Structure 1
Amino acid sequence: MTHDSPALRARTEGHAVSGLRHILILGGTTEARQLAAELAADPALRVTSSLAGRVAEPRLPAGQVRIGGFGGPEGLAKWLREQQVDALIDATHPFAGTISFNAARAAADVHVPLLAVRRPGWVPEPGDAWHDVASLDEAARALPALGERVFLTTGRMGLGAFAHLDALWFLVRSVDAPEGPVPPRMEVVLDRGPFTLDGERELLRRHRIDVLVTKDSGAAATSAKLAAAREAGVPVVVVRRPPVPEGVSVASGVAEAVRWLRAAGRTGVGPSGD
């Protein structure tokens, strides 16, 4: 893609970048909202955030917002062309794996610089009793040997993997009410992070939780449950992240993403090795 805009440069410390005309952020995460706010403060930029639409009332980022899928990599590539996108940022959830592969393919087809913002995963600390698994199905198979009262924090999607475990009791926390097959013995808590350590301690105590199930989202807003489980001696089943596309520039946070955008504006392509 030919960039006809002036060289990308910092306007001020408060305004992130100038030069690129249109930036598309594949969002839904805290990092995506922070990046949108940073970039939307620059009047020279058009910033669009795309949300999958899986949450009924999402936290809307600054700038323009579109909700819903693109129709696979071909649909995303078509949108990039039609909307004259100059840079694509994949700041989706670590477990939204399909969109990351679609983004990599679409960006390559249209020759748009692509950056993936991937937050670091959680790391076990002394006293943790973690059991790593590769999927929700594997987590379900591990549960009967670990406990009887399960705190399930993997979201409302995929609860069918646990629907056959009628001997276990589940506390399910999600932003929206679950749909589809669910465990027969279940209580639902509708809530959205960030969560406090005191709050997580009380939740474990009040519901007599003896095993926790979580995805390795790496989010600070939801990490308090791990500390509470460690203190209480509760084992944690951790679902590992799915694979991600290779050969994509990666940033771990907003500041690093802004630096990448500056370089992308100067060269017309994303820098390698970020």
Structure 2
Amino acid sequence: MIFVAAGTQDGRELAGAILEAGYEVTASVVSRYGKSLLEAYPKMRINDEPLDRDALEAYLEEHAIKCFVDASHPYAENVSQNAMEACRALCVPYIRYERAETPIVYERLHRVTSYEEAAEAAASLGEHIFLTTGSRRLHIFKSSEALRDKCLTIRVLPDSRVLKECEELGFTPKEIIAMQGPFSEELNIELYRKYNADVVVTKNSGAVGGTDTKISAAMALQVPIVLIDRPHIAYDRLAEDFEGVLTFLKEVTNGLY
């Protein structure tokens, strides 16, 4: 059994590719939407229960996992760290699938290493802040003293739990864009214009995450960008494409499939 942390579009596609290669696969997601998409693979086993470090180790041991494929989001640092620790404890082979970053050359680009730094940088660049960082760290921006008098616009998934969290943080309907991506450059331009974006805050999630069109739209409008860099993690094993993952699986399973 191969365990795939598959909380992204390419993670789900990778889980499907591993399944089609003849392996038994358990794909792990943390959202109902992600689970519904994985259900398109009838033979796929799905785990939708959150697993912390100890629970993950227990799960891998109980289900006799032969290899862990980490296709979690590039910014899900805790998932990757917990996975490597659990795999080391059980001597389970681990490989990280890491989507490529979007190369960016832009004179109005401001790189930061944390959400807190992003809030400070955005505050110094304008009054209307357009956030495309997802919903998980919105509390940092909402509670930032530097952003207290700024106008925030957030773009999040149209998911009831996400919207409830936004409401509980104090965001009003006029500050929320609830839309499912990916977004074209043209749509991003129109949204930036509609919400008078003085600065766009985003992450380098790669083309699958829509970074390329977020960036190109901001560049077209000459809007400054605050880019939160990916966490720097020393992965035990890394592949940048599906073929690299499948080659590794062949090596560690010794032709069992």
Pick the TM interval, shorter chain.
0.7 to 0.9
Report the TM-score, using the length of structure 1 for normalisation: 0.81
Match of 1:264 in 2: 252
Letter in 2 for 1:217: S
Find the aligned partners of 1:181 and 1:247 in 2 and give their Cα distance: 34
Match of 1:57 in 2: 33
Q: Any residues of structure 2 matched to 1:110-129 within 5 Å, and which?
A: 110-125=90-105, 127-129=106-108
- Aligned-residue offset at 1:52: 2.5
CA RMSD of aligned residues (A): 2.1
Unpaired segments ≥5 residues, structure 1: 1-21, 269-274
Match of 1:243 in 2: 232
Match of 2:221 in 1: 232
- Aligned-residue offset at 1:35: 1.1
Find the aligned partners of 1:144 and 1:183 in 2 and give their Cα distance: 18
Contact 2:154/2:175 (CA < 8 Å) preserved in 1?
Answer: yes
Q: Any residues of structure 2 matched to 1:11-50 within 5 Å, and which?
A: 22-42=1-21, 44-50=22-28
1:215-265 deviation digits (Å, cap 9, x = unpaired):
222243412111000111011001112232x35110112222112212222
Match of 2:69 among 77, 80, 89: 89
Contact 1:129/1:234 (CA < 8 Å) preserved in 2?
Answer: yes
Unpaired segments ≥5 residues, structure 2: none
- Aligned-residue offset at 1:183: 5.8
Q: CA separation of 1:182/1:143 partners in 2, compared to 1, >3 Å: closer, same or farther?
A: farther
Match of 1:170 in 2: 152
Contact 2:118/2:228 (CA < 8 Å) preserved in 1?
Answer: yes
Find the aligned partners of 1:185 and 1:76 in 2 and give their Cα distance: 37
SS at match of 2:254: helix
Letter in 2 for 1:46: E
Find the aligned partners of 2:6 and 2:190 in 1 and give their Cα distance: 32
Report the TM-score, using the length of structure 2 for normalisation: 0.86
Find the aligned partners of 1:198 and 1:49 in 2 and give their Cα distance: 34
1:13-43 deviation digits (Å, cap 9, x = unpaired):
xxxxxxxxx110011112211111112224x
SS at match of 2:248: helix
Contact 1:94/1:118 (CA < 8 Å) preserved in 2?
Answer: yes
Higher helix share: 2
Find the aligned partners of 1:169 and 1:85 in 2 and give their Cα distance: 48
Larger radius of gyration between Structure 1 and Structure 2: 1
Find the aligned partners of 2:96 and 2:6 in 1 and give their Cα distance: 11
